[in-house]
Amino acid sequence: MSKTVVIYHSGYGHTKTVAEHVARGADAQIIAIDANGDITEADWATLNAADAIILGAPTYMGNVSWQFKKFADATSKIWFTRGWQDKVFGGFTNSASPNGDKQVALITLQTLASQHGGIWVSLGVPPSNTKAATSDDPNNLGGSVGLLARSPADAGADEVHQGDLVTAERYGKRVAEIAARLK
Ligand SMILES: Cc1cc2nc3c(=O)[nH]c(=O)nc-3n(C[C@H](O)[C@H](O)[C@H](O)COP(=O)(O)O)c2cc1C
């Protein structure tokens, strides 16, 4: 059986909601990066033992939060030993605007995975982009690289768009299944 871990930062809880849905789909353990951008030694051990790592961050000012970037920079120690080479990776980001430049944050996650020699998993869910489509439909934001999610600026953490949460579960499942296939 493969082991998938979701690691994320969330300043105000919205990305946490998305992370929980991704983890549900993947049957994954969850690690939260704290407000100082840190995780515990036990968390590092959990990541090192994972077959698949799914990275999550809110989009702040067009990229990942500084706390996530601090974590990303801390993984350079692992990069030196190629410790995460050939692990399976996925990624997700959440922001207020439908666009909000969140693709930039997602590419940051994909780049981090690639720096580690990881195998990146695309979203694999077709876009819902007809006239009839609503925010309740899967992949209504129409991404393909990884998971994009939206919670409007005045929405609570429990008001992430329903279609994005459905997509989150499907994406988590996909990453875990691909990791199991490769193991
Ligand atoms: C410092 C800061 C910068 C933000 N920058 C963006 C942005 O560039 N694009 C966007 O659409 N939303 C932006 N937002 C809105 C957040 O992405 C949105 O509120 C998100 O749900 C926050 O996730 P969190 O609750 O997990 O922290 C920003 C919010 C903050 C606090």
Domain-by-domain residue ranges, the chain? 4-182
User: How many residues in the chain?
Assistant: 183
The CB of 151 under 6 Å from ligand 1? The reply is yes
- Separation of alpha carbons 112 and 140, rounded Å: 26
Closest ligand 1 atom to residue 100 Cα is 11
The CB of 95 under 6 Å from ligand 1? The reply is yes
> pLDDT tens digits, residue range 22-52?
999 999 999 999 999 999 999 999 999 999 9
The CB of 101 under 6 Å from ligand 1? The reply is yes
Q: Which of 178, 74, 75, 76 has the alpha carbon at shortest distance from 123?
A: 178
- Separation of alpha carbons 75 and 107, rounded Å: 17
- Mutational pocket test of ligand 1: of 12, 33, 60, the residue with most ligand atoms within 8 Å of the beta carbon: 60
ipTM of the complex: 0.99
The CB of 60 under 6 Å from ligand 1? The reply is yes
Report the predicted TM-score, pTM, of the whole model to 2 decimal places.
Answer: 0.98
In our burial notation (b when 16+ CB lie closer than 10 A, e otherwise), range 54-64 reads bbbbbbbeebb
Per-residue CA distances from 109 to 48, 72, 89, 114 (Å): 17, 9, 9, 9
- Judge contact between 55 and 89, C-beta under 8 A: yes
> What is residue 1's predicted lDDT score, i.e. its pLDDT?
72
CA 8 – ligand 1 centroid, Å: 14
Q: Which of 109, 21, 173 has the alpha carbon at shortest distance from 181?
A: 173
In our burial notation (b when 16+ CB lie closer than 10 A, e otherwise), range 104-122 reads ebbbbbbebbeebebbbbb
Under the banding of pLDDT at 50, 70 and 90, the label for residue 2 is confident
- Mutational pocket test of ligand 1: of 15, 33, 95, 99, the residue with most ligand atoms within 8 Å of the beta carbon: 95
> pLDDT tens digits, residue range 80-125?
999 999 999 999 999 999 999 999 999 999 999 999 999 999 999 9
Mean pLDDT, the chain, whole residue set: 97
Instruction: Say which CATH class 4-182 falls into.
Output: alpha beta
As a whole number, mean pLDDT of residues 17-22 equals 98
